[in-house]
């Protein structure tokens, strides 16, 4: 990590926010006090000349984040789904970061197809449109196959995106290290591990072969899901920087006016999107990890169409059961059981008091029940939940970061469709069904069946393993040398080296 380079990069970040006017917008959105505003402005104002100018025609926040680079754009995409956290005005501004960024030229796109696929665009496609969507890492063109006449979507990575993203990640690592050094209390959140996780996820998104494989697996898992569709991959026209898949028409999930005009039941659509995500996470352990409005379309019959499979999440079966039992406990308002599950899974240190933790969880959960979403301040709720986790010494679990982040994004999408949706009421049937199948007699029998299959697979090796164990039991290895003698010999050897070096130096003098 290049320290001086990253210091300049972080200063330029603050300077860009100040120069574009985004700093004030962000401070207003988070209702920052005068002291914080004064301190931040005092630090960044003298350096604002270092900030990027950006596109003067764009709103302040998208203007700043677009100028700063792809990693910052990704951050803005997440915030765009949380109007309850950042406010409606800022959320609307940030929504253009999802698929309305400045595109690169069609000539560059065709050249990239030529390099990656080894054939010219004119050889494969009878038509190849201007960009129909441009996001932080790639853009999409609509094309028609010469061979079949079918419409397809061609996704192409931005030129030089790998280098640009690497520069941003380098600065993030530096910032995480400074946070750990300057704020020891933050170490329980593992800032460095969080950035490492984020880097791994997005670097995977920069290889479209992996995205093609993820789309194929996701399609196989969800093929029976009612009113949910994953476009098929055209493998012979896909590579590391180019991906081709079926074209499917639909209305953007963020275009409420168009959805209303098409007669789509938005509250029902909001509930279905949230329930689909929970089904994929709990049932399959494999879920779309970037389900913002820009990656979802709605067909005329209400079918949800998913795109952009560069970021996918996977959780093992044990973690799924723990997560489901925690959700189930919240739904039943059984905070004692929720607290016990946290302790059983090792999420909370054993020396903490389970009753005190249950009482703290009740303070988090109770405001949700009996209230519609418009009356709940998610920002205050998250702030209090963070305070609870800090008080009870809970450490960040990197394997759950992606699940938690996606849950926040999906809830934001659903709330943008139905501001009065209650996440717990919508989640109840899915979580209850999963718990009934994964916890209880049926689940125990399934676990025993899986155990028997594993033992059967190793059956031919069991006699050999038993014989080796008996041989080791009857012929124990010789006891190791006493540690004290080994240490004494090491010190004698070191002393000999020092004396020899002293004599050698004296002889040179």
Long-range CB pairs of 445-454, under 8 A, 24+ apart, other chains included:
none
Of residues 6, 53, 50, 292, the one with CA closest to residue 166: 6
Of residues 240, 161, 246, the one with CA closest to residue 208: 240
- What secondary structure does DSSP assign to 453-505, as a single string? HHHHHTGGGHHHHHHHHHHHHHSPPPPPPPHHHHHHHHHHHHHHHHHHHHHHH
The whole-angstrom separation of Cα 122 and Cα 451 is 55
- Alpha helix (H) residue ranges in 132-207: 161-182, 191-205
Among all chains, which residue has been given the structure tokens 């709330």?
415
Stated as kind and residue range, the H or E segment containing 62 is helix 60-68
**Is 265 an active-site residue?**
no
Q: Residue 40: what are its φ and ψ, rounded to 5°?
A: -65, -45
Stated as kind and residue range, the H or E segment containing 306 is strand 304-306
Three-class SS of 385-429 = HHHHHHHCCCCCCHHHHHHHHHHHHHHHHHHHHCCCCCHHHHHHH
The whole-angstrom separation of Cα 294 and Cα 82 is 14
Catalytic residue among 290, 308, 433, 447: 290
Q: Are 184 and 210 in contact (CB under 8 A)?
A: no
The whole-angstrom separation of Cα 352 and Cα 393 is 8
Per DSSP, 104 falls in state: P
The whole-angstrom separation of Cα 436 and Cα 434 is 5
The whole-angstrom separation of Cα 346 and Cα 16 is 42
Tokens matching residue 439: 């916890």
The whole-angstrom separation of Cα 48 and Cα 68 is 14
Residue 96 CB partners (closer than 8 Å, separation 6+): 58, 59, 62
The whole-angstrom separation of Cα 390 and Cα 403 is 20
Show which residues are catalytic. 290
């Amino acid at each position: 990590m290049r320290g001086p380079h990253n210091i300049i990069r972080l200063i330029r970040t603050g300077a860009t926010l100040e120069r574009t006017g985004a700093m004030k917008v962000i401070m207003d959105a988070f209702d920052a006090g005068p002291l914080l505003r004064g301190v931040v402005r005092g630090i960044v104002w003298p350096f604002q000349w270092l900030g990027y100018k950006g596109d003067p025609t764009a709103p302040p926040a998208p203007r700043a984040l677009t100028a700063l680079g792809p990693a910052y754009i990704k951050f803005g995409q997440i915030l765009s789904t949380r109007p309850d956290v950042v406010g409606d005005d800022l959320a609307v501004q940030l929504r253009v970061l999802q698929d309305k960024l400045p595109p690169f030229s069609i000539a560059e796109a065709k050249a990239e197809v030529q390099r990656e696929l080894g054939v010219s665009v004119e050889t494969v496609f009878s038509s190849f449109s201007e960009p129909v969507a441009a996001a932080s890492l790639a853009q999409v063109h609509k094309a028609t196959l010469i061979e079949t006449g079918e419409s397809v979507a061609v996704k192409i990575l931005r030129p030089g995106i790998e280098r640009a993203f690497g520069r941003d990640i380098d600065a993030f690592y530096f910032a995480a290290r400074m946070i750990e050094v300057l704020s020891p209390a933050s170490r329980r959140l593992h800032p460095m591990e969080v950035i490492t996780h984020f880097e791994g996820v997005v670097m995977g998104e920069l290889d479209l072969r992996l995205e093609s494989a993820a789309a194929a697996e996701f399609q196989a898992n969800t093929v029976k899901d009612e009113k949910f569709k994953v476009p098929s991959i055209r493998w012979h026209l896909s590579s590391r920087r180019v991906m081709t898949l079926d074209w499917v028409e639909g209305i953007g999930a963020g275009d409420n006016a168009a959805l209303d005009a098409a007669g789509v039941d938005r509250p029902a659509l909001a509930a279905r999107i949230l329930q689909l995500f929970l089904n994929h996470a709990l049932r399959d352990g494999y879920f779309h990890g970037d389900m913002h409005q820009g990656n979802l379309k709605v067909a005329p019959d209400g079918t949800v169409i998913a795109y952009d499979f560069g970021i996918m999440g996977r959780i093992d079966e044990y973690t799924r059961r723990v997560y489901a039992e925690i959700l189930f406990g919240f739904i039943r308002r059984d905070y004692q059981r929720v607290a016990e599950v946290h302790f059983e899974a090792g999420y909370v240190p054993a020396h903490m008091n389970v009753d005190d933790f249950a009482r703290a969880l009740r303070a988090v959960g109770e405001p949700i029940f009996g209230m519609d979403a418009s009356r709940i301040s998610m920002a205050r709720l998250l702030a209090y939940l963070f305070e609870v986790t800090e008080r009870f010494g809970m450490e960040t679990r990197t394997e759950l970061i992606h699940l938690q982040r996606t849950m926040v994004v999906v809830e934001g999408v659903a709330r943008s469709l139905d501001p009065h949706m209650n996440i717990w009421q919508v989640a109840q049937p899915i979580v209850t069904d999963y718990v009934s199948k994964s916890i209880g007699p049926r689940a125990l029998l399934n676990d025993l069946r899986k155990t028997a299959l594993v033992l059967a697979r190793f059956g031919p090796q069991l006699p050999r393993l038993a014989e080796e164990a008996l041989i080791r039991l009857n012929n124990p290895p010789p006891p190791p040398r006493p540690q004290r003698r080994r240490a004494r010999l090491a010190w004698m050897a070191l002393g000999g080296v020092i004396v020899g070096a002293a004599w050698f130096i004296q002889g040179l003098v």
